[in-house]
Amino acid sequence: MRILCAVRGGPRSQGTVTRAVELARERDAALTFVYVVDVEFLGYATAGRPRVMLKELRSTGEFMMEILRNRVAPQGIDVDSIVRTGDVRRQITESVRWQDAGVLVIGRPVKGRGGHSTFTEKSLAEFVEQIEAQTGVEVIAAETSTAPAEVEKDDAVS
Amino acid sequence: MTPRRLGGVLICLAIGLYFAILPSHAEEAGNAAREVGGPTISGILVDPQDQPVQDASVRVLAEDQEPVAETETQSNGSFAVVVPADTLHASLTVDIQRPHFHSMRYELGADEVDTLRTGGAFTLPVHALERRITLGFWIAAITFIGMLALIAVDTFHNTLAALVGAAALFISSYLGAAVDSDFFIFDFERSLHYIDWEVIFLIMGMMIVIAVVEGSGIFQWLAYFAYRISRGRPWLLVIVLMVITAVASAFLDNVTTMLLMTPITVQIALALEMNPWPLLMPEVVASNVGGIATLVGTPTNILIGSFAGISFASFLINLTPGVLMALAALAIYVQIIYRRSYRHATAASPELEERLRKNAQITEPEDLKRAGWVGLGMLILFLFGDSIHLVPAVTALLGATALLVWIQPDVEEMIEAVDWTTLVFFMCLFMVVGGIQEVGLIGYVAELIGRIVGTNLTLAMVLITWLGAIMSMLVANIPFTAAMLPVVAFLSNRIPGAEGNMLFFALSVGAAMGGNGSLIGASANMVTAGIAERVGYPITYVDFLKQGFPAMIVTVTVGTLWLLFRF
């Protein structure tokens, strides 16, 4: 059995990663992290250079995945990672199919400060319903870590 | 229509419009130079700020109020109208009309008509037309403010906001004016006069240059080089990264610099097990400050340089020392506020270090070498081209062409890399700013600031620097700077000792450094935050403000002190 864990990186993904590792251990399953590069959010700033930006963000995604693998592997879990490019929903769905995953772990929308989540509670529920129907995968929406980023904790300007 | 075709159409459109304007300039020059024979009435019209009034209708009316001769004022506000000899009977009236001004009439007395009758010329005294607030005035003002608001709240694409603004002006001028002439702002031909084609072509040329360079891997290599020479010590690493970013931003646009520096910087930070923001924030602030050093470093400098005719060398000489001082102050600031993050960082593992090295390789070394030679040539032309009247836009186009010919990349791919939406944004922005200039709003603002500063040059410099900084923090600095250019020109003419473009340099410092004050203050901030968010490190508006606003205060203070010392 394979568990697919969709991550964005950063401290807020910690909760999702922890949940996926727990599940992999409980079910004695292999774990695959998936990171999706999507430059649409940059809008006009990358209008003329999506090729270069995709390459750079892909490289950063692979770097993050390597760090994740290095952290999880010593816990005795069979772990690997994939980096995909394009629309987040479609790429996660295709990853589930390609990896023949039995479980998908995905982070719930961020409740803390800062940033925009890929999903809202409503759109996540819709996505879960849709991907379950399309692929038959079991989806677990993990609580996202709401701990502020280190920079806010350590270096708050007083 | 494909982006490629759209790009081609826009190039043709831009070039067509550029050449369409050329004859009118030539015509103006020809008219000004032409000797006017026969009975002639001439004069010069200015606005309340002593700026020439162009395109005013000047008609000579006979006793029965029928026009016997007419002309329009030239770009320098002058006019000369020949009155047919057979109409010189008794009295004549000169009737002057111009939208957004009160009309004016001048009755020629018998003696003056006699002078004309003998074939002589009569010159009216220099006359300042009084401004008139029309419905068009309010529409242009609301349109400009609305455009700023749309850009600030980020609900509309910048280009769409500017397009909507330009469209609103034309709707008022054509459809509105058909109902009530008070709605008139300007016609299409007049709006084209406000587009600064030198800016458009300079930005376009630099975009092609950047498109060739950005795929070479040079930025990634430089960031890795910073990591190597600092041996992974964050306090030193951040200083080297700031210097690299500032120098790169002086010659390339800040958005490109941060687009390429941010991913590799995130990787370095993650390898050191630290949050990326204590490296990213100093980088983006240094990028915004470093761009001030040259004419091509920021869009605001391109606007200022083109409007005021300030050369590349002049920017370098007058602003680089201030930029270096501001960077030194920033280096101290970041060491203080991020000290704990720097202290808690750990050494990167050999595996991650190796991965960093692989990710930071120069991918096109031969192309990079050629780009370096072309870049050097461009730098020489930017520095010394002024002596042969070579404008920076032409240097940028020559550099772009040289790169395309020498490196021979996929030309269509390079042309597609030109950000046409940005160029359309600038064209529409020039029109919207032209609208508020046309109706006199900028004149009123100039008058108001003129009253506040009087003839005090120091006060004017400090006010422009800090007003520029605060406004650039709150609203997009490009439209603000574009609107401030005529205001600064007015103040430069009026305040004794303000020659030498010092007030324009104050605007440059304020507009660029002010961008550090808030997340929306500069496009580079938004792009950096966007990438960081995508890799799991979002930053809120308030958190950016907490770290960026003090940086803005520090840099603008240093910048102001430098300007006061220099001038």
Cα–Cα distance list, A24 to A27, A33, A60, A104 (Å): 5, 12, 25, 11
Q: How far is it, in rounded angstroms, from Cα B436 to Cα B139?
A: 9
Which tens digit of pLDDT belongs to each residue from A2-20?
Answer: 999 999 888 888 889 999 9
Q: Do B260 and A56 touch (CB under 8 A)?
A: yes
Q: 250-269 in B: which are within 8 Å (CB) of A?
A: 255-256, 259-260, 263-264, 266-267
Rounded (10°) angle between helices B365-384 and B392-407? 160
* Cβ burial, residue B271 (10 Å; 0-12/13-18/19+): buried
Of B352, B359, B419, the CB nearest to A48: B419
pLDDT at B239: 96
Q: Do B531 and A57 touch (CB under 8 A)?
A: yes
Residue A116 structure tokens = 């925009």
Q: How far apart are the CA of A104 and the nearest CA of chain B, in angstroms? A: 19
Residues of A with CB under 8 A from a CB of B: 7-13, 37-38, 41-49, 51-53, 56-57, 59-61, 63-64, 66-67, 70, 110, 113-116, 149-152, 154-157
B539/A contact by beta carbon, under 8 A: yes
Of B340, B352, B421, the CB nearest to A154: B340
Q: How far apart are the CA of A72 and the nearest CA of chain B, in angstroms? A: 15
Q: Is residue A153 predicted with pLDDT exceeding 70?
A: no
Chain A residue numbers touching B339 (CB-CB < 8 A): 155
pLDDT at B23: 42
Q: How far is it, in rounded angstroms, from Cα B435 to Cα B141?
A: 8
Q: Is residue A131 predicted with pLDDT exceeding 80?
A: yes
Chain B residue numbers touching A64 (CB-CB < 8 A): 270, 535-536
Give start-end residues of each CATH 2.60.40.10 domain in chain B: 39-128
Of B341, B349, B417, the CB nearest to A154: B341
Q: How far is it, in rounded angstroms, from Cα B543 to Cα A113?
A: 10
Residue B331 structure tokens = 């280096």
pLDDT at B533: 87
* Contacts of residue B330, Cβ cutoff 8 Å, sequence gap at least 6: B242, B282, B285, B286, B289, B551, B554, B555
Chain A residue numbers touching B539 (CB-CB < 8 A): 114-115, 149
Q: Which fold has domain B39-128?
A: Immunoglobulin-like (2.60.40)
pLDDT at B348: 86
Q: How far is it, in rounded angstroms, from Cα A134 to Cα A131?
A: 5
Return the residue of B nearest to A10 by Cα. Answer: B536
pLDDT at A92: 94
Residue A27 structure tokens = 């079910």
CB B463 within 8 A of CB B498: no
pLDDT at B138: 96
Q: Which residues of B525-548 are buried (b: 16+ CB within 10 A; e: fewer)?
A: bbbbbbbbbbbbbbbbeebbbbbb
The tens-digit pLDDT sequence of chain B (567 residues) is 444 444 444 454 454 444 444 444 334 433 443 445 678 999 999 998 888 899 999 999 988 888 989 999 998 999 999 988 887 777 889 999 999 999 999 988 888 888 888 888 888 888 889 999 999 999 999 999 999 888 877 677 888 999 999 999 999 999 999 999 999 999 999 999 999 999 999 999 998 888 888 878 888 899 999 999 999 899 999 999 999 999 999 998 888 899 889 999 999 999 999 999 999 999 999 999 999 999 999 999 999 999 999 999 999 999 999 999 999 999 999 999 999 999 988 888 888 889 899 888 888 889 899 999 999 999 999 999 988 989 999 999 999 999 999 988 887 877 777 888 888 999 999 999 999 999 999 999 999 999 999 999 999 999 999 999 999 988 888 889 999 999 999 999 889 888 889 999 999 999 999 999 998 888 889 889 888 988 888 888 888 999 999 999 999 999 999 999 998
Of B260, B526, B536, the CB nearest to A12: B536
* Contacts of residue A108, Cβ cutoff 8 Å, sequence gap at least 6: A121, A124, A141, A142, A143, A144
A·B CB contacts under 8 A: 143
Residue A119's pLDDT band (cuts 50, 70, 90): confident
pLDDT at B117: 83
CB A34 within 8 A of CB A92: yes
For residue A2, the cross-strand partners are A30
Q: Do B267 and A49 touch (CB under 8 A)?
A: no
Q: Is residue A158 predicted with pLDDT exceeding 60?
A: no
For residue B557, the cross-strand partners are none
Q: Give the residue extent of every domain in chain A.
A: 2-155
Return the residue of A nearest to B549 by Cα. Answer: A157
Task: Using DSSP bridges, classify how beta strands B121-123 and A138-142 pair: parallel, antiparallel or unpaired.
Answer: unpaired
Residue B98 structure tokens = 């111009």
Task: Using DSSP bridges, classify how beta strands B92-97 and B57-61 pair: parallel, antiparallel or unpaired.
Answer: antiparallel
Residue that has been written with the tokens 């494909």 in this structure? B2
| B486 alpha carbon, distance to own chain's centre | 12
CB B292 within 8 A of CB B282: no
Nearest to B567 by CA among B452, B450, B461, B463: B461
Q: Do B536 and A8 touch (CB under 8 A)?
A: yes
* Cβ burial, residue B73 (10 Å; 0-12/13-18/19+): buried
pLDDT at A43: 58
Torsion B364-B366-B367-B373 (CA) sign? positive
First-to-last C-alpha distance (Å) of chain A: 50
Residue B49 structure tokens = 């700020």
Q: 31-90 in B: which are within 8 Å (CB) of A?
A: none
**Probe site for chain B from A57, A155, A158 (most B CB atoms < 10 A):** A155
For residue B104, the cross-strand partners are B96
Which tens digit of pLDDT belongs to each residue from A7-53?
Answer: 988 888 888 999 999 999 999 999 999 999 987 766 555 445 667 78
Residue that has been written with the tokens 């920017």 in this structure? B315
CB A125 within 8 A of CB B312: no
Residue A155's pLDDT band (cuts 50, 70, 90): very low
CB B546 within 8 A of CB B508: no
Q: How far is it, in rounded angstroms, from Cα B54 to Cα B58?
A: 11
Q: How far apart are the CA of B80 and the nearest CA of chain A, in angstroms? A: 49
pLDDT at B134: 93
B553/A contact by beta carbon, under 8 A: no
Domain A2-155, CATH class in plain words: alpha beta
pLDDT at B34: 44
* Cβ burial, residue B303 (10 Å; 0-12/13-18/19+): buried
Q: Do A156 and B530 touch (CB under 8 A)?
A: no
pLDDT at B12: 44
Residue A111's pLDDT band (cuts 50, 70, 90): low
CB B497 within 8 A of CB B532: no
Q: How far apart are the CA of A16 and the nearest CA of chain B, in angstroms? A: 12
Mean pLDDT throughout A85-91?
90
Q: How far is it, in rounded angstroms, from Cα B401 to Cα B407?
A: 10
Q: Which helix (H) or strand (E) holds B315?
A: helix B312-337
Task: Using DSSP bridges, classify how beta strands A103-107 and A2-6 pair: parallel, antiparallel or unpaired.
Answer: parallel
* Cβ burial, residue B46 (10 Å; 0-12/13-18/19+): middle
Q: How far is it, in rounded angstroms, from Cα A141 to Cα A107?
A: 6
Q: How far is it, in rounded angstroms, from Cα A2 to Cα B385?
A: 65
Of A41, A116, A155, the CB nearest to B340: A155
Q: Do A157 and B550 touch (CB under 8 A)?
A: yes
For residue A107, the cross-strand partners are A142
Q: Do B527 and A56 touch (CB under 8 A)?
A: no
Q: Do B421 and A49 touch (CB under 8 A)?
A: no
What is the secondary structure of B473-510 as a DSSP string?
Answer: HHS-HHHHHHHHHHHHHHHHHHSTT--SSHHHHHHHHH
CB atoms within 10 A of CB A86: 14
Chain B residue numbers touching A115 (CB-CB < 8 A): 533, 538-540
Chain A residue numbers touching B263 (CB-CB < 8 A): 56-57, 59-60
Q: How far apart are the CA of A5 and the nearest CA of chain B, in angstroms? A: 15
